[in-house]
Amino acid sequence: MSEIQFINTYPADKYYTYDERIALLRARKINQTEEKAKNGGANEDDYGLIEQDVYKFELQPNHENGSIYGYRAWSENYSRLIHNHPLYCDPIDAFVGKGFLFMERLRPKQCKWNPDYPYDDLKEVFAKYDIISGIDNCHHFTPDLQIGFDLGWGGILDLLKSEREKHDDSHHEFYDAEIMVVTEIIGFLNRISDELEKLSKLEKNKQLSENLSEMSRINRNVAAGRPQTFREAIQWLCWFSMLSRTYNRGSAGGQLDEMLRPYYERDIKAGILTDDEAVFYMACLFLQDSRYFQLGGPDEKGKDMTSRVSYLALEAADKINIACNLTIRVHDAMDENFFIKSVEYLFKNKQGWPRYSSDNALVEGFMKCGYSMELARRRVAAGCHWMCIPGMEYTMNDTVKINLLRTFEVAYEEMMSGSEPSVTRLFEIYKKHLKIAVDATGRGIMHHLRYQTKSQPELILNLFQHGLIKKGVNITDGGANYYNMCMDGSGLAVAADSFAALEQRIEREGKLTYAELDAHIRANYEDYDGEYIRQLMLHSQRYGGGNSLGDEWAEKIKDVYTEYVRDLCREYPGINFIPGFFSWSNTILLGKSVGATPNGRKRGQPINHGANPCSGFRPDGAVTSMCNSIARVQPGYGNTAPVQLEIDPGIANDEEGIRKMAAMIKTIMNTGNTLLNINIIDTDKILEAHRDPLKYPDLVVRVTGFTAYFAMLSPDFRQLVVDRVTSVNPRQLNQKNFDIEKEK
């Protein structure tokens, strides 16, 4: 049985320093990760979830299909779940707040959307173009946790109750559900406080017993009240993480340094906090959950927000050194020392943190949607590839994917069934189908907005939206201030490379005919001369090559895709649709449905990652060329087409190397790119870990936007990461492959 409480597991007479406590906590985390990996792992974020077999929870459905729908079922089930949720407690930790499960995932897989609100007509289009519609997907917008700090759970409950009195019956279902949930949360936190007090009496180590007693006091304070100290504020964040995750895997953190700065400054002034303690507390926060936080960046007026807390947060992440989703916002008035420090940690720890976002590109883009510069600057990094104004927006970020490659395949087949094939004609047909796909996706988003409350109301994140409680509606029913709906294209590089390969090899060079190529494609390049022709197409001018045909086609696709997505804003006034390019971890899934393609890709192979070019885009794998190409395909409306970059640590092993990398990162961010998800990966180590994942249970990689333990990933996903690493480090790899071959 997995343990969830660790009372009297440490020697009774030992006194632990903060560093020793962090080391012990980290070691336990690595063990837990190893266990998770042995149990099958998962192709996603770690979330700080604890795998255990102590607590089992079963939903009480309110529908014959076994699922739960609407305010009442979600609030009742959640309240019951929390009511019985056991306490995970490690007395060496500064906080409690570990969770075990996501309630939304307990629903039957095929019954997430309420069947009383069908969209069968759209399903056909979604299937045809392999669209992930986002219908029923939850959270993926950012709460403003400052609301929680300002009101506390008790204040939120009071507000809910007073507002209920002001609203008519039509809002009571909303208020009753929220009141039930918050009441239960306060009760739960008080119970936790009681349990901690009991455990403190059982713990024989004096230091740890006192720690448990202090935790009990802190939890009592934050059960209903507003957090008053730095430690209480972080304990509040830990519980928010656990409570929102447990409900529906709820979303990201926000601007951590600014949220904690007032508490830090007050406590330091009062002499009740030291920097060492602050670092320890934040290290424990990062251990508790791999939630996204932004550090640094400009305030609304453009003034840099980097503070002492920003530095300490980096130090804390360095000490715990696990999967930390920290983003540094690069801007013109940036604290240069802080930036350099962050690059040093990036290369020192090689754990995929921090990553970097570009204030200039993001602000300029978001303002094109009609928002003020002040609002644009408040849009913080909050997810794998996305930004959000905390407490102001509903976004469906990263939940909607249009398979640009499947759309290409539909167009290609239509062209080949007619006469006189050409890339000009193909692009016309492609545009027609892309328009259909985008329009259907837009209708899907509107359907989701209209009926999501009947499926899955956002009972936790609703509470941290500005003005929502006063409106008395779920966030999808008008509760948000802004609706900025994310719509990502996936598979851009493969589609662009396919157009380029056709134009170059058939039309410009006359190496073969459309009919000849088509026969090979239908045979999956496995017919006579198939592999030879595949190599011909594969080595055409690719996207990422730099001013190549592939780059030109990628830009053309970007332009029409952006235009079609933006067209939806006129069709649905009040709703802002924002285009981006990202696949998340759907690269394998979205490739499966597509046959062989003209760029030499074989049937079922994955699509490219996000906005990145396909592996082998240039013989020298030049990072600069790749980043320039990605900069050219930014849709430019405030959402991202991220650069996913894998760098060998050997290139920054001294001060000069760090300076070069800092300049590289800054230039990537200043040349039109929006977000840099970066891994520092030793090619040897990743290849070895791919062969034997459990050899490196602590190896963390940034898989897409999120970081994850490499050992937790499936072989397919590990292969994708390995492919990306070798794609931009081909010279070293050529030698390594050569050495391996020689050894054989």
Partner 1 sequence: MQHLITDIQRFSLNDGPGIRTTVFFKGCNMRCAWCHNPETLSPSPDLMFYPSKCISCGKCFTACSVGAHILENGLHIIDRKLCKKCGKCTEICYAEALVMSGREMTVDEILFEVCQDKAYYDASGGGVTLSGGEVLCHTDFAAKLARACHEEGIRVAVETNLSLPYDHIRPLLSEVDLIMADLKLYDEEEHKKHTGLSNKNTIENILSIRDIPMIIRTPLIDGITATKENLRAIAGLLEGKENLIYYQLLNFNPLGASKYESLDAANSFSNLMPYNEEEMSAFGEMLSDINIRVKVGE
Q: Which residues bind partner 1 (CB under 8 A)?
A: 529, 531-532, 535-536, 538-539, 546-547, 619-620, 622-625, 628, 651, 654, 656-657, 659-660, 663-664, 666-667, 670-671, 731-732, 734-735, 737-739, 741
Quick one: 274 or 547, whose CB is closer to partner 1?
547
For partner 1, give the closer residue by CB, 493 or 728. 728
User: Looking at beta carbons only, is 214 or 531 nearer to partner 1?
Assistant: 531
Please tell me what DSSP assigns to residue 608: P
Sequential DSSP letters for 386-413: -EE-TTTEE--TTT-EEEHHHHHHHHHH
Nearer Cβ to partner 1 (122/622)? 622
Closest by Cα among 377, 367, 389 to 297: 377
Single out the residue of 328, 380, 379 nearest to residue 354, CA to CA: 328
| Residue 658: CB minimum distance to partner 1, A | 11
User: Torsion over CA of 191, 192, 197 and 198, rounded to 10 degrees?
Assistant: 70
3-state SS, one letter per residue, for 315-379: HHHHHHCCCCEEEEEECCCCCHHHHHHHHHHHHHHCCCCCEEEEHHHHHHHHHCCCCCHHHHHCC
Burial of 576 (0-12, 13-18, 19+ CB in 10 A): buried
Provide, for the chain, the percentages of residues in helix, strand and coil under a 3-state DSSP scheme, each rounded to the nearest 5: 55, 10, 35
3-state class of 679 per DSSP?
A: strand
The smaller minimum CB distance to partner 1, of residues 513 and 735, is found at 735
Least Å distance, CB 429 to partner 1, is 28
Q: What is the DSSP letter of 506?
A: I
Return the number of the residue (181 or 554) whose C-beta is nearest partner 1.
554
Shortest distance in whole angstroms from residue 334 CB to partner 1 = 13
Task: Please state, in angstroms and rounded to a whole number, the distance separating the CA atoms of residues 266 and 282.
Answer: 17
Minimum CB–partner distance for residue 685 and partner 1 (Å)? 17
| Buried residues in 469-480 as b, exposed as e (16+ CB within 10 A) | bebbbbbbbebb
- Report in angstroms how near the CB of residue 545 gets to partner 1 at its nearest: 11
Min dist CB 529 to partner 1, Å, is: 7
Q: What does the longest C-alpha to C-alpha distance in the chain come to?
A: 85
- With respect to partner 1, which residue has the nearer C-beta, 403 or 625? 625
* Amino acid (1-letter code) at residue 660: K
Q: Output the 3-class SS for 214-276.
A: HHHHHHHHHHHCCCCCHHHHHHHHHHHHHHHHHHHCCCCCEEHHHHHHHHHHHHHHHCCCCHH
Closest CA to 383 of 138, 118, 217, 549: 138
Distance CA 370, CA 516 (A): 50
Q: Are 102 and 42 in contact (CB under 8 A)?
A: no
Q: Which of 501, 713 has the CB closer to partner 1?
A: 501
Amino acid type, 607: I
DSSP assignments along 421-474, one per residue? --HHHHHHHHHHHHHHHHHHHHHHHHHHHHHHHHH---TTGGGGSTTHHHHTS-
Nearer to partner 1, 63 or 539 (CB): 539
Angle at 77 between CA 72 and CA 81, to 5 degrees: 150
User: What is the Cα–Cα distance from 96 to 87, expressed in whole angstroms?
Assistant: 8
Q: How far is the CB of 624 from partner 1 (least distance, A)?
A: 5
* 150 versus 529: smaller Cβ distance to partner 1: 529
In the complex, minimum distance from the CB of residue 535 to partner 1, in angstroms, rounded to a whole number: 4
Query: What are φ and ψ of residue 466, in 5° steps?
Result: -70, 115
Give the three-class secondary structure for 312.
helix
- Say if CB 713 and CB 44 are below 8 A apart: no
Shorter beta-carbon distance to partner 1: residue 413 or 739 = 739
Query: How many Cβ atoms are within 10 Å of 726's Cβ, its own excluded?
Result: 21
As measured in angstroms, the least distance from the Cβ of 654 to partner 1 is 8
Selection from 721, 727, 677 nearest residue 352 by Cα: 677
Q: Which residues touch 629 (CB under 8 Å, ≥6 apart)?
A: 543, 544, 545, 546, 551, 554, 613, 617
Residue with smaller CB distance to partner 1, 428 or 655: 655
Shortest reach from residue 734's CB to partner 1, in Å = 6
- Which CB sits closer to partner 1, 373 or 512? 512
Minimum distance from CB of 547 to partner 1 (Å)? 7
Cα gap 369→362, rounded to integer Å: 11
Closest CB to partner 1 among 17 and 734? 734
Q: From the CB of 702, what's the least distance to partner 1, in Å?
A: 20
Closer of 373 and 651 to partner 1 (Cβ): 651
